[in-house]
Amino acid sequence: MTMQQRTEPSPAAVLIAVAVLALVLTVAFGPLGFVIGLALFGLMFVGTKNKTADQITPVRTRSRLRRLSTAGRVAIVGESHHQDAIAEIAALATHELKADTGNGTAVPATAVLVPEPATRHDLTAVRVDLLRGDGTAVTAGYLRGEQAVDYRPLLLDLAGRGEIGSCPARIVGSDQRYGVHLHLGAPRLLLLDHEALGTAPTLPAEQQVAVVGEQVHQHVLHRVVNGRTPAHVIAELRDCRIVRGSHIGEHTLEVLLEGESVGQLTYAMGLRYCDMAQEWRARTGRALCEAVITNEGTRGLQANLLLPK
């Protein structure tokens, strides 16, 4: 992983340099030099006190973003030290869809997880940055210490391959006090096993929903998992009609992996999720969701979708 940090002189160093220059000018030119030095000092002081939003940006990611599982919610810490940076991302995202939370409005953002170099003070720090549209990022906070211990090894593995983990984030609160939480899966299922569908966003992964009819699509499931179970994959949802049973002809959702059907939702689940999938497809281009494929012995491979509650 390569993250490029822009280094700038600290405000204190700039002010000291200007003060020294003012002293030199005073010695060389007398009162006129003193006035010029004071003017320079004042200009630099105002400049250091009024940093623009562009100066907040600390890093640009050159790594390939690796989509992480969203099947979980993780609150971060340390946001109080990065309120200006978070406010900037919130302002940039206000034109996007805002999700309603119990405590107000949540602004969507994209987070990247950066394992920081170990120090004698902290061996496991994982920094949470929020991305701008141009690929630059600002720091929003850190994973909690016990969570960083669990996630860091996987993130370091990604870094060794030139990748950086990415997940959806939500900014909550207002300009009085911002907080950030991540849509991030547990470490054991953090890395998706199948990414052929690219980086388009997936539906919120909040509960498991069973797929029916997998028994006639076992060859597709076996090809996708390639001997590894459980496999955490990305599925696509497509409108279809039920072809057998008491609800024949009714609408539901077909489940696709690698463009091939592996089953469908029941009639009841189709009623619940058809409109949601259609809205998601209109907004993002495809109705994608996470899924977990498990080996159920004599029942064969089974797929469970991770969908909103």
- Between CA 304 and CA 134 the distance in angstroms is 36
Q: What is residue 69's predicted lDDT score, i.e. its pLDDT?
A: 85
- ∠ CA 226-228-234, nearest 5°, is 80
Residue 77 sits in the same domain as residue 120: yes
Q: What is residue 103's predicted lDDT score, i.e. its pLDDT?
A: 43
Q: What is residue 52's predicted lDDT score, i.e. its pLDDT?
A: 38
Helix (H, G, I), strand (E, B) or coil at 132: coil
pLDDT at 148 over 70: yes
Q: What is residue 284's predicted lDDT score, i.e. its pLDDT?
A: 85
User: Quick check: is 227 in a domain?
Assistant: yes
Domain limits for position 265 = 207-307
Residue 218 sits in the same domain as residue 145: no
Beta bridge partners of 109: 169
Query: For the segment 120-147, what is each residue's pLDDT rounded down to a tens digit?
Result: 777 889 999 999 888 889 999 999 999 9
Residue 96 sits in the same domain as residue 159: yes
Residue 184 sits in the same domain as residue 78: yes
pLDDT band at 31 (very low <50, low <70, confident <90, very high): low
User: Quick check: is 6 in a domain?
Assistant: no
User: Quick check: is 146 in a domain?
Assistant: yes
More confidently predicted of 55 and 175: 175
Query: For the segment 198-211, what is each residue's pLDDT rounded down to a tens digit?
Result: 567 888 888 899 99
Beta bridge partners of 127: 114, 142
pLDDT at 25 over 90: no
User: Quick check: is 5 in a domain?
Assistant: no
The token pair that represents 105 in the structure block: 């409005």
Domain boundary among the residues 132, 166, 191 is at: 191
User: Quick check: is 198 in a domain?
Assistant: no
Residue 181 sits in the same domain as residue 257: no
Q: What is residue 278's predicted lDDT score, i.e. its pLDDT?
A: 95
pLDDT band at 57 (very low <50, low <70, confident <90, very high): very low
Mean pLDDT over residues 57-85, rounded?
80
Q: Locate tokens 């004599």: which residue?
A: 298
Q: Locate tokens 């090809």: which residue?
A: 223
The CA-to-CA distance between both ends of the chain, in Å, stands at 35
- Between CA 248 and CA 245 the distance in angstroms is 6
Burial 20-33 (b: 16+ CB within 10 A, else e): ebbeebbeeeeeeb
User: Quick check: is 255 in a domain?
Assistant: yes
Residue 83 sits in the same domain as residue 182: yes
Check if the beta carbon of residue 126 is closer than 8 Å to that of residue 178. Answer: no
- Between CA 141 and CA 299 the distance in angstroms is 45
Residue 107 sits in the same domain as residue 183: yes
**Predicted TM-score of the model (pTM):** 0.61
- Name the least confident of 109-118, 193-202, 227-236: 193-202
- Between CA 263 and CA 244 the distance in angstroms is 13
pLDDT band at 249 (very low <50, low <70, confident <90, very high): very high
Phi-psi region of 297 (alpha: psi -120 to 50; beta: other; left: phi over 0): left
Residue 96 sits in the same domain as residue 23: no
pLDDT band at 51 (very low <50, low <70, confident <90, very high): very low
Count: domains in the chain: 3
User: Quick check: is 279 in a domain?
Assistant: yes
Residue 125 sits in the same domain as residue 222: no
| Strands 136-142 vs 59-61: parallel, antiparallel or unpaired | antiparallel
Mean pLDDT over residues 231-258, rounded?
92
Q: Locate tokens 């997998």: which residue?
A: 214
Q: What is residue 212's predicted lDDT score, i.e. its pLDDT?
A: 94
Mean pLDDT over residues 27-36, rounded?
64
Residue 92 sits in the same domain as residue 172: yes
Residue 237 sits in the same domain as residue 266: yes
The token pair that represents 307 in the structure block: 């969908």
Distance of CA 50 to the CA centre of its chain: 29
Determine phi and psi for 128, rounding to 5 degrees: -110, 115
Residue 297 sits in the same domain as residue 257: yes
pLDDT at 152 over 90: yes
Mean pLDDT over residues 280-284, rounded?
90
